[in-house]
Structure 1
Amino acid sequence: MSDISTLPMYMRRAQFDPVPELAEVREKEGITRVTTSFGIEAWMVTRYADSRAVLGDAERFSSARQTFFQPPGASEEEIAALRAGNLLAFDPPEHTRLRRFLTPEFTIRRMRRLEPRIKDIVEQHLDAMEQAGSPVDLVQSFALPIPSLVICELLGVPYEDRADFQRRTGRLLDVSLPMDERFKLQLESRAYMTDLVTRIQADPGEELLGMLVREHGDDLTTNELIGIGNLLLIAGHETTSNMLGLGTLALLRQPDQLELLLKEPERIDAAVEELMRWLSILHASLARVCTKETEIAGQTIKPGEVVVCSLPLANRDPAFMQDAEGLDITRGAPGHLAFGHGVHHCLGAPLARMEMRIAFPALFQRFPKLRAVTPVADFRSFHLVYGVASLEVAW
């Protein structure tokens, strides 16, 4: 399966860019009907202001009412167990309750404690690349293992288990696979996390899951701990690893931007934000269900109808910023939606930013002559998190 015309409309890209017909929707109608990766009909919102309004209104656009990714034939009890702890499947006040337990662990101050360890992890992988000699696959040697190791240490997941959970996650997010296979992978991921949580409950350590057991063991059920662990493990390595791989390729393809970053490394914070905006590796927001009749871009949305926001289109909306189609690391892209918006704004954003702020400069300082070996990149077109499956580089 390789024809992008078989993809949901909001997932279609031409390398770094949404396909031209998507931009046409944004410029003309602003909203259109699409079939999602779960096979359901939805309204696709394309403009920045409209997307921000949808994402910021959890009361009118509900996450809790979605029923899209549930194994067929599952009982209500089984579905409730699968949803437990998954912050993305709840609205306030239940979402607020769950997030309250996690927020202290993801503050900028708390993340700074991790900074020396992240620097060590990055340097170790650069050393290994240098010793192996060029060419190497940057995804396998750098972009994927660094965030995987960080999230493993943070959560208390044995790093030796990474090959299995990376395989499961990669396939779980692959929309070219049949739904029944993806449901099976979802259950496998849950079984793995169930075993891990059981072990941590018996002997909680200093890891995040251990902290939750020690400090909030009476407030969180075992199913909620499993759901929290699953969500953080998947989100914690998939997103940042794809940003590191795709972001490196973007900078290599735009040497003027890379040269500016090397000359003025203090621009790294702004560069990370602009790469997040320009690449928008999440094709769309999670689908939300409309709860009361409302209007978006002149279209009436009825209660029960599903809405998704195209993040690449919103982040490149000319009404959001000038020359939005261009990559410009000097502007910093304040207000971009790559981390979402509203109550579901990415909890791990401070960690992701820190990993990128450390990893990108370290990579290019170590290998200032870094180059992509092949002119054609292996883009992950059929994955819910966009990126490159491999990136052979030399120096």
Structure 2
Amino acid sequence: MSELLDAWFFADPHRFYRRWREQGPVRRVDFGDGLDRWLILGYDEGRAALADPRLCKDIRRFDTVLARKRPGARRNPRPDIVLRHMLNADPPDHTRLRKAVGKAFTPRRVAQLQPIISQTANELLDGMAGHDQVDLLEAFAVPLPVTVISHLLDVSIQDRDTFRAWSRTLVGTPDPGSDPARAYGEIGQFLRNMLRDKRAHPGDDLLSTLLTDDDARLSEPEIVGMALLLLVAGHETTVNLIGNGTLALLHNRAWLERLRADPELIPGAIEEFLRFNGPVDMATPRFTVEPITVGDTVIPAGEIVYIGLAAGNRDPRHYPDPDDLDPTADRAGHLAFGHGIHFCVGAPLARLEGKIAFSTLLQRFPHLSLAVEDSRLRWYANPVIHGLTALPVRLQP
């Protein structure tokens, strides 16, 4: 029997994971659409599955699996232009795509972004200083990574509200009253225009590099898909790292004070925020091309499988006292960025953004506090992205 993932689950998935893990490292779940999926809960089992070549991601073959499981169901409404990227590919295509985009995330290139990250963070905090209360996501956590990834891609995004709406549509949490079909059309046109401009005026940015990379031989749909992946993944993940991490500190005031007093602890704290309540709940879906065994359970071929990154990161078999926040603990090997060939290529940038964001925020607003009761906080109903819809905070005592 499948477990239904409802609003109660998305508000506090760890409450469910603790109960389910007692019954084994894998569970059948239903996202509310009547389609059974398998969810891997254990750390060791999840880490192994993330590197298992029998679990595939090719979007074209994935559609075939869906069609077989749900005969007559409507095809994925997302157009191909937003699906052709490395998270939806297996080797050798994945290898080619990742090698091309990886050139933008070398340690040297990421280090070169530090000045703009610091400048942007301080400008945003300057803008917050005149207010007693703000939504920390919209005032700080959203515009910071949007500005940074736009700089990396040399993309000018004038209307952040529109971009945020597009991003929500892409991750499956559209704003009320929005039209996903229209949003996809707008996204596609925006990206095509972006590529046309880069062909006419190439520069020292990632899009220009992808367009001129003769070794990678990327098609236009692949370049568009990769640009979109970077814009959305580089945005949503960091937003929720900052939001979820800040909420964890507001619930653990002693650690907030300690990090403010000793900023050298912040890099370790970032790893703990990622493990404790990271920005990604489950890895994007895979499907089995042959049976695999997880614990005592055999998952047949042709099944859809999700790997619980957040569940594995609180597996008591791997981490002592996993439900306690401890920024000084050794949390090496957490699964927040995945594992294997799909390990997040933007992890170095996310870590740098997180370090600068928390260092500047805690120094500027030492009296930061939650402005609403916990019961009023809302989480997106999304199995992959784990984040708040808003984080109202008070800036002054």
2:30 pairs with 1:44: no
1:66 to 62, 77, 89: 62
> Which residue does 1:307 correspond to in 2?
305
> Which residue does 1:341 correspond to in 2?
339
* Shift, 1:188, TM fit: 3.4
| Structure 2: gaps of 5 or more residues | 68-72
Q: Do the aligned residues in 1 keep the contact of 2:4 with 2:29 (CA within 8 Å)?
A: no
Q: Structure 1 length normalisation: TM-score? A: 0.89
**For the structure 1 residues 46 and 218, does the alpha-carbon distance in structure 2 shift closer, same or farther, using more than 3 Å as the test?**
closer
1:26 to 21, 26, 44: 21
> Amino acid of the residue matched to residue 224 of structure 1?
E
Matched position secondary structure for 1:53: helix
RMSD of aligned alpha carbons: 2.8
Deviates more, 1:218-227 or 1:362-371: 218-227
**For the structure 1 residues 234 and 47, does the alpha-carbon distance in structure 2 shift closer, same or farther, using more than 3 Å as the test?**
same
Deviates more, 1:245-254 or 1:91-100: 245-254
2:385 pairs with 1:388: no
* CA distance in 1 between partners of 2:166 and 2:241 (Å): 19
2:5 pairs with 1:8: yes
> Amino acid of the residue matched to residue 380 of structure 1?
W
**For the structure 1 residues 357 and 222, does the alpha-carbon distance in structure 2 shift closer, same or farther, using more than 3 Å as the test?**
same
**For the structure 1 residues 155 and 11, does the alpha-carbon distance in structure 2 shift closer, same or farther, using more than 3 Å as the test?**
farther
Matched position secondary structure for 2:349: helix
* CA distance in 1 between partners of 2:92 and 2:133 (Å): 51
* Aligned positions, number: 383
Q: Do the aligned residues in 2 keep the contact of 1:204 with 1:210 (CA within 8 Å)?
A: yes
Matched position secondary structure for 1:331: coil
* Shift, 1:332, TM fit: 4.3
> Which residue does 2:146 correspond to in 1?
148
> Amino acid of the residue matched to residue 349 of structure 1?
A
2:239 to 241, 251, 263: 241
* CA distance in 2 between partners of 1:282 and 1:300 (Å): 26
> Which residue does 2:135 correspond to in 1?
137
> Amino acid of the residue matched to residue 356 of structure 2?
I
* CA distance in 2 between partners of 1:134 and 1:174 (Å): 33
Cα deviation 1:314-358 (Å, max 9, x = unaligned):
100001110011111001411111111111111111110000000
* CA distance in 1 between partners of 2:209 and 2:195 (Å): 12
**For the structure 1 residues 183 and 308, does the alpha-carbon distance in structure 2 shift closer, same or farther, using more than 3 Å as the test?**
farther
* Shift, 1:100, TM fit: 0.6
* Shift, 1:157, TM fit: 1.8
> Amino acid of the residue matched to residue 210 of structure 1?
S
* CA distance in 1 between partners of 2:113 and 2:40 (Å): 37
* CA distance in 2 between partners of 1:251 and 1:26 (Å): 26
Q: Do the aligned residues in 1 keep the contact of 2:157 with 2:163 (CA within 8 Å)?
A: no
Q: Do the aligned residues in 1 keep the contact of 2:100 with 2:216 (CA within 8 Å)?
A: no
**For the structure 1 residues 172 and 62, does the alpha-carbon distance in structure 2 shift closer, same or farther, using more than 3 Å as the test?**
same
> Which residue does 2:118 correspond to in 1?
119
* CA distance in 2 between partners of 1:24 and 1:74 (Å): 32
* Shift, 1:63, TM fit: 0.7
Q: Do the aligned residues in 1 keep the contact of 2:142 with 2:239 (CA within 8 Å)?
A: yes
Deviates more, 1:195-204 or 1:336-345: 195-204
Cα deviation 1:129-163 (Å, max 9, x = unaligned):
11x22112211111111011111111122130432
**For the structure 1 residues 137 and 294, does the alpha-carbon distance in structure 2 shift closer, same or farther, using more than 3 Å as the test?**
closer
* CA distance in 2 between partners of 1:250 and 1:141 (Å): 19
2:163 pairs with 1:169: no
> Amino acid of the residue matched to residue 44 of structure 1?
L
2:281 to 256, 280, 283: 283
* Shift, 1:9, TM fit: 6.3
* Shift, 1:29, TM fit: 2.2
**For the structure 1 residues 366 and 69, does the alpha-carbon distance in structure 2 shift closer, same or farther, using more than 3 Å as the test?**
farther
* Shift, 1:190, TM fit: 2.4
Deviates more, 1:62-71 or 1:289-298: 62-71
Q: Do the aligned residues in 1 keep the contact of 2:173 with 2:380 (CA within 8 Å)?
A: no
**For the structure 1 residues 218 and 365, does the alpha-carbon distance in structure 2 shift closer, same or farther, using more than 3 Å as the test?**
closer
* CA distance in 1 between partners of 2:35 and 2:190 (Å): 29
* Shift, 1:304, TM fit: 0.8
Q: Do the aligned residues in 1 keep the contact of 2:25 with 2:40 (CA within 8 Å)?
A: yes
Matched position secondary structure for 2:287: strand
Q: Do the aligned residues in 1 keep the contact of 2:100 with 2:213 (CA within 8 Å)?
A: no
Q: Do the aligned residues in 2 keep the contact of 1:10 with 1:310 (CA within 8 Å)?
A: no
- Aligned-pair identity (%): 35
* Shift, 1:207, TM fit: 2.1
* CA distance in 2 between partners of 1:110 and 1:38 (Å): 42
Cα deviation 1:22-51 (Å, max 9, x = unaligned):
312112122121124775321111000010
**For the structure 1 residues 82 and 126, does the alpha-carbon distance in structure 2 shift closer, same or farther, using more than 3 Å as the test?**
closer
* Shift, 1:291, TM fit: 1.3
* CA distance in 1 between partners of 2:76 and 2:338 (Å): 30
2:123 pairs with 1:128: no
> Which residue does 1:202 correspond to in 2?
200
2:293 pairs with 1:298: no
Q: Do the aligned residues in 2 keep the contact of 1:63 with 1:289 (CA within 8 Å)?
A: yes
* CA distance in 2 between partners of 1:154 and 1:103 (Å): 13
> Amino acid of the residue matched to residue 26 of structure 1?
R
**For the structure 1 residues 69 and 190, does the alpha-carbon distance in structure 2 shift closer, same or farther, using more than 3 Å as the test?**
farther
Q: How does 1:356-395 map to 2 (within 5 A)?
A: 356-376=354-374, 377-383=376-382, 384-393=384-393, 394-395=395-396
* Shift, 1:274, TM fit: 0.4
Q: Do the aligned residues in 2 keep the contact of 1:378 with 1:391 (CA within 8 Å)?
A: yes
> Amino acid of the residue matched to residue 56 of structure 2?
S
* Shift, 1:174, TM fit: 3.7
* CA distance in 2 between partners of 1:79 and 1:391 (Å): 32
**For the structure 1 residues 342 and 134, does the alpha-carbon distance in structure 2 shift closer, same or farther, using more than 3 Å as the test?**
same
> Which residue does 2:48 correspond to in 1?
53
* CA distance in 1 between partners of 2:324 and 2:269 (Å): 13
* Shift, 1:18, TM fit: 2.2
* CA distance in 1 between partners of 2:9 and 2:197 (Å): 42
* CA distance in 1 between partners of 2:151 and 2:308 (Å): 33
